[in-house]
Amino acid sequence: MNKDFDVLKYIKDFPVLNKEVNGKRLVYLDSAATAQKPLSVINAIKNYYENINANPHRGAYFLSTASTEAHDNARKTIKEFLNAKYSEEIIFTKGATESFNIIAQSYGMNFINANDEIVISISEHHSNLIPWQQVAKAKGAVLKYLYLDENGEIPISEIEEKITSKTKLVSITQMSNALGTILPVKEIIKRAHEVGAVACVDAAQSIAHMAVDVQDLDADFLVFSGHKIMSPMGIGVLYGKKHLLNKMTPFLFGGDMVEYVYEQDTTYAELPYKFEGGTQNVEAAIGLQEAIKYINHVGIDNIENHVQQLLEYAHEKLSQLEVVTIYGPKELHKKGGVISFNIKDVHPHDVSTILDSYGVAIRSGNHCAQPLMRYMNINSTCRASFYLYNTKEDVDIFIDSIKNVRRWLGYGS
Ligand code: PMP
């Protein structure tokens, strides 16, 4: 393992990993669903309520100003984290799902027309799929898919054939939550721009594992949820290029997102407030800021290396088990810290329940990617995912418990 990365030092920062859960040591292998939270994030939320809490933007008094400043400060940290050009390009949302719905409703419904094409990949999470179905249905547009080859990758020919002058919007995940596949988003964005289409990136998984730079990617929109990078739930980000956000209509109408309101008409606030109707989740924005500080303290490259080494270690051990089928790319550098697999003749929910009895938490199901499962001719998979606080020992416990699954169910081995 990476000698410079002292994982035990970081584990101490996560209260839930330092106690028994349901009477057992927790082996948490479900960070792709949500990451555990370090004490600095938990304390930042406590500090907010003990010292700063007030409704932001609405008062001239000390606390309200402090709350407003804390919220804006969090935005600046996210701007730096994504290397966005302007703070106004960072919109706070509830999470990736809400961010996609804003793009679909406020951009898609206004700028996509009949017979235009929208291109996504077959490995998209439902949150980057259903909003585009809605736009396609409402506007008479066509929703097209990039399909994976037998190696679990999108061939270049697929990108060139599907993204054409008819394409008006391309929306692609940078890392699949279901298979761990890292998609060539930079190339896809380049192709989208060559044909004059707008490109959105789903960074809900990748944001936890690699440096994400919106200017380097040249993404027009990029979304993520804070909880996957150790922030509280209920906060996420919509990044959008200023000129695109400026021409979009607001998504939520109400308090705070307005300039002037008349009996019959309204003018809207400037960016980013135009898209932030209603009282904001200041505590979670501060929690997200603290989570980013934590990532910066550990180093995103260190996290990426550590997770990659765990992935390789787990992959090697798991592939030695004849009863296990692993999905996704064979070449591990094309994969993030996610292993999707099945055990012969055992339903993933049974695997997950049996592993739980060993204190091992993995995910089972379709991972909000039903079209992908159907495309692969399976109903569901088991998914183990790794993060900075996981160890080789976690992987060993995971593998040992996997070896026991079929025995539990009465199979010989
Ligand atoms: N996209 C991907 C790739 C995801 O993994 C997730 C969460 N599982 C989402 C989008 C949606 O995120 P949220 O549920 O936090 O809105």
Q: What are the residue boundaries of the structural domains of the chain, listed by start?
A: 7-30+299-408, 42-296
| Ligand 1: centre distance to CA 280 (Å) | 21
Report how far apart, in Å, the C-alpha atoms of 103 and of each of 165, 225, 389 are: 21, 15, 34
Residue 91 has pLDDT above 80, yes or no: yes
- pLDDT for res 3: 58
Alpha carbon 294 to its chain centroid, in Å, reads 17
CATH architecture entry for 42-296? 3-Layer(aba) Sandwich (3.40)
Q: Which two tokens stand for residue 19?
A: 């106690």
pLDDT tens across 18-69, in order? 999 889 999 999 999 999 999 999 999 999 999 999 999 877 899 999 999 9
Q: What is the mean pLDDT of residues 253-268?
A: 96
From the list 220, 150, 135, the residue with the least C-alpha distance to 185 is 220
CA 10/CA 300 separation, integer angstroms: 14
Sheet of 167-173, strands arranged across: 90-93, 236-240, 221-225, 198-202, 167-173, 117-121, 142-146
| Residue with CA at minimum distance from ligand 1 atom 8 | 33
Length of the chain measured in residues: 413
Task: Report CA(225)–ligand 1 centroid distance (Å).
Answer: 7
Q: Residue 152 — pLDDT band, cuts 50, 70, 90? A: confident
Mean pLDDT, residues 150-179 taken together: 95
H-helix or E-strand containing 224? strand 221-225
As a whole-number percent, the residues of the chain with pLDDT over 90 amount to 93
- pLDDT band of residue 222 (cuts 50, 70, 90) is very high
Name the pLDDT band for 1 (thresholds 50, 70, 90).
low
Q: What is the pLDDT of residue 80?
A: 98
Mutation probe of ligand 1 site: the residue of 94, 127, 223 with most atoms within 8 A of C-beta? 127
Q: Which atom of ligand 1 is nearest to the CA of 202?
A: 1
Residue 178 tokens, joined: 């279901």
Domains 7-30+299-408 and 42-296 belong to one CATH topology: no
Structure confidence at residue 312 (pLDDT): 97
State the pLDDT confidence band at 223, using cuts at 50, 70 and 90.
very high
* Closest residue by CA, ligand 1 atom 12: 96
pLDDT at 226 over 60: yes
Site to probe by mutation for ligand 1, drawn from 368, 372, 387 as the one with most ligand atoms within 8 Å of Cβ, is 368
**Ligand 1 and 338: CB distance under 6 A:** no
Q: Are 182 and 203 in contact (CB under 8 A)?
A: no
The number of beta carbons lying within 10 Å of the beta carbon of residue 393 is 11
Phi, psi of 335 (to 5 degrees): -135, 140
Answer CATH for 7-30+299-408 from 3.40.50.720, 3.90.550.10, 3.90.1150.10, 3.40.50.300: 3.90.1150.10
Sign of the dihedral defined by the CA atoms of residues 205, 92, 89, 268, in that order: positive
202 in contact with ligand 1, CB cutoff 6 A? yes
